[in-house]
Amino acid sequence: MSEAARSFDVAVIGAGPAGLAAACRAALSVPRGGVCLVDDNPRPGGQIWRASLDRVSDPAVPWVATAARLGVEMIAGARVFAAPEPGRLALETTAGESLDLHYRSLVLATGARERFVPFPGWTLPNVMGAGGLQALAKSGLPVRGKKVVVAGSGPLLLAVARYLRHAGADVRLIAEQAPFRVVLGFGFSLFDHPHKLAEALRFGLSLAGVRFVTSCWPLSAQGDGRVESVTLSRGGNPFTEPCDYLACGFGLAPNTELAALLGCRLSRPGLGDAVAVDDYQQTSVEGVYAAGEVTGIGGLDVALIEGEIAGHAAAGRRDRAGRLFDSRNRQRRFAESLERAFALREELKHLADDETLVCRCEDVAFGRIRACTGWREAKLQTRCGMGPCQARVCGPAVEFLLGWKPDSVRPPLFPVSVRSLSQAGSHNQGG
**DSSP letters of 40-68?**
SSSSSSHHHHGGGTTSTTSTHHHHHHHHH
Distance separating alpha carbons of residues 159 and 42, to the nearest angstrom: 24
Range with lowest mean pLDDT among 63-67, 184-188, 283-287: 184-188
Cα 12 from Cα 74, distance rounded (Å): 10
The verdict on whether omega for the bond into residue 412 sits within 30 degrees of 0, i.e. cis, is yes
3 has pLDDT over 70: no
My answer on whether omega of the bond before 120 falls inside 30° of 0, hence cis, is no
Q: How high is the pLDDT of residue 100?
A: 93
Q: How high is the pLDDT of residue 2?
A: 44
Over 80: is that where the pLDDT of 356 sits?
yes
Q: What percent of the chain has pLDDT over 90?
A: 71
* Average pLDDT over all residues of the chain: 91
Residue 210, pLDDT above cutoff 90: yes
**pLDDT per residue over 116-166, tens digit each?**
999 999 999 999 999 999 989 988 999 999 999 999 999 999 999 999 999
| Mean pLDDT (whole number) for 355-380 | 94
pTM: 0.90
pLDDT for the residue numbered 241: 98
Strand, helix or coil for residue 304: helix
- Domain covering 3-113+253-339: architecture: 3-Layer(bba) Sandwich (3.50)
Tell the CATH topology of 118-249. Answer: FAD/NAD(P)-binding domain (3.50.50)
In this structure, the number of other CB atoms found within 10 A of the CB of residue 149 comes to: 26
Radius of gyration (C-alpha) of the chain in whole angstroms:
22
Lowest mean pLDDT among 74-83, 194-203, 304-313: 194-203
Angstrom distance (rounded) from CA 88 to CA 238: 54
Rounded CA gap, 343 and 325, in Å?
Answer: 26
Phi, psi of 370 (to 5 degrees): -65, -25
What pLDDT, in 10s, does the model give residues 105-116?
999 999 999 999
Residue (of 14, 67, 12, 9) closest to 34 by Cα position: 9
Query: Which residues make up the CATH 3.50.50.60 domain(s) of the chain?
Result: 3-113+253-339, 118-249
pLDDT band, very low/low/confident/very high, at 415 (cuts 50, 70, 90)? confident
